[in-house]
Amino acid sequence: MTPKDLQDPTSDADVAPDGERRGSLSRRAFLKTAAVTTGAVGVVATTATPAAASGMVPESDPDELAREHADDPGLLIDITRCVGCARCVRACKLDNDLEWRQDQPATGVDAALASSNWSVVRAVGLETMQDSRLGPRRRIARRYVKEQCMHCLEPACASACFVAALHKSEEGPVLYDGERCVGCRYCLMACPFGVPTFEWDETFGRVQKCDFCAERTAEGDPTACAEACEQGAVTFGRRGELLTEAWSRIAADERYVHHVYGEREVGGTSIMYISDVPFEELGLPTDLPTDPLPTYTWEVSRILPPFAAGFTVTIMALYARRQRVVREREEAEAKAGEEVDAR
Amino acid sequence: MRPRATPWSPTRRRWTFKMTPFRGVMLAILGLAVVILGYRFVVGLGAVTNLTDQWAWSFWTWWKLSAVALAGAGYATMFMIYFMGRERYRDVERGAFVVSMLGYLMLCCALLIDLGQWYNAYRPIYNWGYHSVMFELFWCVGSYTVVLVIEFFIIFEERVPWNPLHAVLKKIHAPLLLLACFLPVFHQSALVGLYVITKGRLDPLWWSQLLPVYAVMTFFYIGPAVVMLENVIANRVYGRPVHMKIISDMFPVAALVMFMYLVLRLADYAVRGVFDELLSGSLYANLALIELGIGVALPMVMFANRELRTSRRSMVVASLLAVGGIWLFRFNVTMAGLVESIGVGWYRPHWMETVVVLGLASGVALAYLFIVENFPIYTPEDVAASEAAVAEATARAKAADVRPKVGVLPVEHVKELERTGSSR
């Protein structure tokens, strides 16, 4: 290597000091790489198709989902019947061995799902104006909202979990496997109802959420919360039948809001609510699409295999062209060198 | 990455790292961050962050998504060299590459410290949650970081006469390049694509099916801006010349991608019918307007302008604006756009959370300085120029009886070059 080589800006640095060619590849080696890569992309693309057929594609039609899951266990929560006694909360805590914690209220206006609260009863104060003999009067009405995992028919949390620690079981409940969980908390971000919670104060934090008393419901028994309810506010049954029941209650009493919350929200949920006050005022999320959320992600990942294949081919073409240019230049330089030698 | 025609002497033994007050401060922050992380690994995430079940991801996520986009520096440069044949860009290649590699190593650290059961991080290898965007992220970020580190071995073996990977590297160089070109497109898109599932909660000004596409486009166009900033910083620290010719050659491409990005964003607003919201004057609308106007449109015009893009000063401004635009876009997606639906107010990071982020940034900066001073990153011409600058500054400082400002690059480098006869 002489100083002249360095100063020559056109000299390609493919040549190591020992004169050995590195970095750039021979045409044959490149074609081999190209063939292997294309083959790999092809294999991925072809295996992805049967994978798509076998449940990888989320069902996007709410009606189809409702038919498919009509026999799943479900709960119907009637807000008009709940008196806020929180027997369901106690039953849940006892049955699932969950702590009562001062900093995690399970009842009252501040009640929220938390690592030791799989189910809570949240009190809601509603201001209403009522006519009286002395004119309109401000009155506070109370409602109680029992909250727990909604057990979506097409759950966003399970679709978001990259180790499949969350999955929708055959029987219906959305189950969590703490041994597998990495603790990335993508499920917390993915859930439209804010259900999964994290053990923030544990060294190795896991996710906590209601499991729909999977062992009980597998036997056909009602969940602990449904069993504990003495007001008939929490009814356990098959989802399809509960839906019929819900609509017949709504039809029988005009004070009900004409909507079953959970019938179509994000594709439908196993837990459904009926109420006499708008669901928005109860603090339940109402801006949700009727498409299951995994369909949005699926729309994106669907185009990945063809895009990947196209991209690979393009960059390999660019690379091949580049290699040809380098080789031609090297040949030209070698030729020029020979001419100088001949002189 | 390709080996250099004149490798720096592999026989040089001494490793150097000159301490300066500023480096001392960065080292102290890094040390504090390490202590905090030790505490975090004992008592859990809740003690060092203000994360809650409502704000399950926030400040760290914003930091990760934004910082790793800046790793576009190496991608853009190396793409132009190895796939578009811009051989002369190789003068800035290695500096940009080091920025990218450190960016990805930092991302891996930042991802790991954010996990509850971090010891399970290997699990996606056999527990396939293939329907998750995170799954794609895991595989692509993981393998890309490995690719970058393997590439670094090419530089490494020019400095240290020991490379167990030498024979393997020679064989796998081409597939490695193709992978390095291929992988980032997918995980960069996945990083912001994580938020596609927040449909109905993330404000429509930012939620879009096209979020992954936006992420990749921003990653593509930010490269030249980061190379610019890296050059200016290296100029400040080492007196290394700014490769204005090369960089201003890269800017028009960036401007073109920015234009396409802007058109796509606006078309997306129009199709989804959120144009009215964009002009409503609300806080969200203003954030989006600042992001698109000052963070994209303005630097785009500056990059495209023939006169401005050869001026160092205006390109520093434009690059800072473009980088700021990217940080704001990710801020809006990960934090601002979710405030309303989360409903517990803005996220306020814990001081320890902030120190960890500063510590990671300091770690990257210190690692960059160490690598540049001990490995053949800058070209021999650059080193010579920076030595001249150092000598000049030292002489001037001596005359004025003050401490010299530049002068960190060890003199041995230049001596070595003189001995091998490759210095000008």
Q: Please answer yes or no on whether B135 and A162 come within 8 Å at the CB atom.
A: yes
Question: Same domain for A227 and A260?
Answer: yes
Confidence band of B319 (pLDDT split at 50, 70, 90): very high
| Per-residue model confidence (pLDDT) at position A106 | 93
Cα atoms found within 13 Å of the Cα of residue A239, Cβ hemisphere only: 27
Among the candidates A236, A267, A286, a domain finishes at A286
Question: Same domain for A151 and A105?
Answer: yes
Residue A184: inside a domain = yes
Write out pLDDT tens, residues B5-56. 554 544 455 777 878 888 999 999 999 999 999 999 999 999 999 999 999 9
Residue A127: inside a domain = yes
Residue A9: inside a domain = no
Check: CB of residue A153 under 8 Å from CB of residue A290: no
| Per-residue model confidence (pLDDT) at position B405 | 55
Residue A2: inside a domain = no
A61/chain B closest Cα distance in angstroms = 17
Domain hosting residue A34, numbered range: 26-56+297-317
In the numeric block, which tokens belong to residue B402? Answer: 């003050």
In the numeric block, which tokens belong to residue B253? Answer: 């491409």
Question: Same domain for A188 and A51?
Answer: no
Residue A70: inside a domain = yes
C-alpha closest to that of B75 among B228, B222, B187, B255 = B222
- pLDDT above 70 coverage of chain A, percent: 83
Write out pLDDT tens, residues A181-203. 999 999 999 999 999 999 999 99
Confidence band of A53 (pLDDT split at 50, 70, 90): very low
Question: Same domain for A232 and A138?
Answer: yes
Residue B418 has pLDDT above 80, yes or no: no
Question: Same domain for A44 and A127?
Answer: no
**Dist. CA B332–CA B326, nearest whole Å:** 10
Question: Same domain for A85 and A132?
Answer: yes
Instruction: Report B:142-171 residues touching A (Cβ under 8 A).
Output: 170
Q: What is the CATH number of the domain that holds A281?
A: 3.30.70.20
Q: Which residues of B touch A288 (CB under 8 A)?
A: 200
Residue A44 has pLDDT above 80, yes or no: no
Q: Which residues of B touch A188 (CB under 8 A)?
A: 53, 56-57
Residue A200: inside a domain = yes
Residue B175: which H helix or E strand, with range?
helix B166-193
Specify the number of domains making up chain A: 2
Q: Which residue has 């940009």 as its token pair?
A: B96
Question: Same domain for A75 and A200?
Answer: yes
Looking at residues B268-288, what average pLDDT do you find? 91
**Dist. CA A43–CA A22, nearest whole Å:** 30
B18/chain A closest Cα distance in angstroms = 30
Confidence band of A41 (pLDDT split at 50, 70, 90): low
Confidence band of A33 (pLDDT split at 50, 70, 90): low
Question: Same domain for A276 and A304?
Answer: no
Count of pairs with CB atoms under 8 A, one residue in A, one in B = 224
Q: Which residues of A touch B424 (CB under 8 A)?
A: 7
Q: Where does A49-134 show beta strands of DSSP type E?
A: 73-78, 107-108, 120-132
Q: Please answer yes or no on whether A9 and B186 come within 8 Å at the CB atom.
A: no
Q: Which residue has the higher pLDDT, A272 or B238?
A: A272
Q: Please answer yes or no on whether A13 and B90 come within 8 Å at the CB atom.
A: yes
Question: Same domain for A238 and A310?
Answer: no
Q: Which residue has the higher pLDDT, B397 or B68?
A: B68
Question: Same domain for A35 and A178?
Answer: no
Write out pLDDT tens, residues B171-222. 787 788 888 888 888 888 888 989 999 988 999 999 998 999 999 999 999 9
| Per-residue model confidence (pLDDT) at position B320 | 96
Residue A343: inside a domain = no
Backbone angles phi, psi at B348, to 5 degrees: -110, 110
Residue A10 has pLDDT above 50, yes or no: no
Among the candidates A286, A306, A330, a domain finishes at A286
**Dist. CA B150–CA B166, nearest whole Å:** 10
Residue A328: inside a domain = no
Q: Where does A191-270 show beta strands of DSSP type E?
A: 197-198, 207-208, 234-238
Q: Which residues of A touch B38 (CB under 8 A)?
A: none
Question: Same domain for A269 and A304?
Answer: no
ipTM of model: 0.87
Q: Which residue has the higher pLDDT, A130 or A250?
A: A250
As a whole number, the mean pLDDT across chain A is 84
The β-bridge relationship of strands A271-274 and A234-238 is unpaired
Check: CB of residue B4 under 8 Å from CB of residue A13: yes
Check: CB of residue B192 under 8 Å from CB of residue B61: no
Residue A68 has pLDDT above 70, yes or no: yes
**Dist. CA B166–CA A60, nearest whole Å:** 51
| Per-residue model confidence (pLDDT) at position B83 | 85
Domains in chain B, start-ordered, CATH in brackets?
21-378 (1.20.1630.10)
| Per-residue model confidence (pLDDT) at position B151 | 86
Question: Same domain for A193 and A46?
Answer: no
CA dihedral sign of residues B191, B193, B194, B198: positive
